[in-house]
């Protein structure tokens, strides 16, 4: 096992806010994408992470090649289900963000519950507009993996992009906040869209 805990942090944060989360979570490496810009590298420096531990995802190469060459998983993991699987940070509305550790068992139960309640079929295509540092972004990712489905990620939200993705990718499930539903349902071209 790797012994790592996935801890997605909001790329919208300032270098100081990101550095706080890196320090608070006792991060030993930071992998970031272009959306974080210099805030990530500045945060790494402020958190005491050396440059070789602050990795731009674009510089990491194609991870899919590495995955296809890896040995298949042959059995269950020996990681206790009560161990922390991931940690999400709150928005910090009453102060600094707080890291919320989530166990493998809790994540499994929440994801299985969503699949059962929403009656997700096998091979479901889901659209993810929520960031992975948000509960529903992670739940979309996990539920897609559970049902052997596909998760389509939009880098930026727009009602047009959502409708285009629904048509092109034959999306069967999506989680949106109410204002997003409002934007989509009030599009002048909604009646002409193929939502089947």
- The structural domains of the chain, with segments of one domain joined by +, span 1-116, 120-196
Q: Which two tokens stand for residue 115?
A: 């699949």
Neighbouring-strand partners of residue 84: 103
Predicted confidence pLDDT, tens digits, the chain (196 residues): 677 899 999 888 889 999 999 999 999 999 888 777 789 999 999 999 998 898 887 765 565 666 677 777 777 778 899 999 999 998 878 889 999 999 999 999 999 999 999 999 999 999 999 988 999 999 999 999 999 999 999 888 999 999 999 999 999 999 999 999 999 999 999 999 998 8
Helix ranges (H only) for the chain are 15-24, 37-46, 63-69, 104-118, 135-146, 159-169, 178-185
- What is the C-alpha to C-alpha distance for residues 121 and 116, in angstroms, rounded to an integer? 9
User: For the structural domain made of 120-196, what CATH number should be given?
Assistant: 3.40.50.980
Task: Say yes or no: do domains 1-116 and 120-196 share a fold.
Answer: yes
Q: Which residues pair with 174 in a beta bridge?
A: 127
Distance of CA 136 to the CA centre of its chain: 8
CATH class given for the domain over 1-116: alpha beta
- pTM for the full predicted model: 0.82
Cα–Cα distance, 16 to 101 (Å, whole number): 21
86 strand-pairing partners: 6, 102
């Amino acid at each position: 096992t790797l012994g790592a805990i996935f801890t997605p942090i909001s790329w919208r944060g300032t270098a100081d806010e990101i550095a706080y989360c890196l320090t608070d979570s006792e991060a030993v490496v930071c992998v970031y994408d272009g959306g974080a810009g210099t805030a990530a590298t500045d945060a790494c420096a402020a958190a005491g992470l050396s440059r070789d531990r602050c990795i731009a995802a674009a510089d990491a190469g194609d991870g899919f090649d590495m995955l296809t060459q890896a040995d298949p998983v042959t059995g269950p993991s020996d990681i206790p289900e009560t161990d922390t699987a991931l940690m999400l940070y709150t928005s910090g509305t009453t102060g600094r963000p707080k890291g919320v550790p989530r166990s493998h068992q809790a994540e499994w139960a929440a994801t299985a519950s969503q699949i059962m309640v929403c009656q997700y079929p096998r091979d479901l295509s889901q659209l993810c507009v929520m960031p992975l540092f948000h509960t529903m972004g992670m739940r979309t990712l996990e539920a897609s993996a559970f049902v052997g489905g596909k998760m389509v990620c939009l880098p930026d939200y727009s009602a047009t992009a959502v409708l285009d993705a629904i048509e092109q990718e034959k999306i069967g499930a999506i989680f949106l906040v109410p204002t997003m539903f409002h934007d989509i349902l009030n599009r002048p071209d909604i009646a002409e869209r193929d939502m089947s």
